[in-house]
Amino acid sequence: MTTLRQRMIEDLKLRNRSPRTIQTYIAQVANFARHFGKSPELLGAEEIRQYQVYLVQQRQVSWSTYIQAVCALRFLYRHTLGRECIVEHIPFPRKPKKLPVVLSQTEVQRLLAAVRDYQLRVLLMTTYAAGLRLSEVIHLQVSDIDSQRMMIRVRQGKGQKDRYVMLATKLLTELRRYWQWEQPRSWLFPGRNKHQPISQNRVQSACRRAGRDAGLSKTATVRCLRHSFATHLLEAGTNIRIIQTLLGHSSVRTTQVYTSVSTQAVRAVSSPLDALAEAVSTTEPR
């Protein structure tokens, strides 16, 4: 391990960044250095700009991958190398605004019914019932299920924050049946190696396959179930601040995106045409 890499890892740990973030940032900086065949200490603003153009035009990476690369380089030059003047010249792209994909409650029911593996079906049911992120649901422990208080403890969610979410009665019944079947000891949803949680890839693959088997026209993902949870709560009249807390959002502005996909909220607004005193007469189409 190079001295620079070790310093960057230490800087990330000092700022309490998650292990996943550390792994991602180090990998992105390594790709940058490998592209030029030089240490980042010998590279500057112009090389960073060339690399950004390379990622966008030649590699055509996804928006999330591009943002990860930019954030990693900004961290490296600002905190580890102390070259703030270079950071000022690293453009940060504006995130394209896309509405989340949301399933109806009927579609959620069809999706869950199409999951063939029992463990994965219970996992996806838990995801929807509590609005969890993929990383959160796979890292649930048996002790996180508090049946006395009817709550689920979410450990170290995004931003490394703990929170509690509700434990649905139907979910508790299913989790008890699942516990008798699986007998999990530590991880609620263990992988093939019982000492490790189930893998993210296995869960995502099962979710997409179930969506296809259920005949859904939308691409089913774990995130889609989380979006559906929030939207269905909003449509049921739940206060948006409560939804914000359940989702673990730092700002209510993040949660407000669900007002854009709530069909009930859209349908509840009257068109100005209905406010006209008289209907507009039209001639028969020719």
The backbone torsions φ and ψ at residue 146, rounded to the nearest 5 degrees and listed phi first, read: -105, 90
Write down the H helix ranges in 40-198. 45-53, 63-75, 84-87, 105-113, 118-130, 134-138, 169-182
Q: Which residues touch 247 (CB under 8 Å, ≥6 apart)?
A: 131, 226, 230, 254, 255
Cβ-contact 221, 207 below 8 angstroms: yes
Q: What's the Cα-to-Cα distance from 235 to each of 106, 257, 268, rounded to whole Å?
A: 14, 13, 11
* Helix/strand/coil for 60: coil
Tokens encoding 10: 């230490």
Dump pLDDT digits (tens) for 69-109: 999 999 999 999 998 888 887 877 666 677 788 999 999 99
Tokens encoding 230: 């929030």
Enter the pTM of the model: 0.70
Beta bridge partners of 51: none
Tokens encoding 65: 């991958």
Dump pLDDT digits (tens) for 109-123: 999 999 999 999 999
Q: How confident is the model at residue 150 (pLDDT cuts 50, 70, 90)?
A: very high
Check whether 274 has a pLDDT greater than 80: no
- Domains located in the chain, CATH noted: 3-87 (1.10.150.130), 105-267 (1.10.443.10)
Q: How confident is the model at residue 273 (pLDDT cuts 50, 70, 90)?
A: low
Vertex 126 angle, CA 122 and 131, to 5°: 155
pLDDT, residue 257, reads 77
Check whether 239 has a pLDDT greater than 70: yes
Residue percentage of the chain with pLDDT more than 70: 87
